[in-house]
Amino acid sequence: MTHTPRPWEISYSTNFPDQQTIQAVGSDRILAVIDRADEQDIANAHLIAAAPDLLEALKRVKKVAADLRPYGEVDNAIADELERYILPTLAKAEGKA
């Protein structure tokens, strides 16, 4: 399973002032529509637009955690802690959970 490549951005409708869309930069593909413009909806739009960047960051941190493993007990504990949060979130984002 693959997602629409990043970056994604929020676009504001000129015809519907309370509507925002999430789109891939340089694409006409609409990924999400936010129909209201209250503070929480705007925050949700920003979170959705950041999703592919957050996924990439988690993948990089997962690699850092794996790279720590050969360096001893303290680094293994750090890697365990990182992976405890990262792996379930990655699985959810990749449709594996």
> Sorting pLDDT into bands at 50, 70 and 90, what band is 28?
confident
Q: How do residues 59-88 score in pLDDT, each as one tens digit?
A: 999 888 888 888 878 788 888 888 888 999
What mean pLDDT, rounded, does the chain reach? Answer: 85
Task: Kindly tell me the burial class for residue 43, based on how many C-beta atoms sit within 10 Å of its own C-beta (0-12, 13-18, 19 or more).
Answer: exposed
Q: How far is CA 44 from CA 27, 29, 32, 69, in A?
A: 21, 19, 11, 36
pTM for the predicted model, two decimal places = 0.76
User: Is the per-residue pLDDT at 13 higher than 80?
Assistant: no
Q: How do residues 43-66 score in pLDDT, each as one tens digit?
A: 888 889 999 999 999 999 988 888
Q: Is the dihedral of CA 83, 88, 92, 94 positive or negative?
A: positive
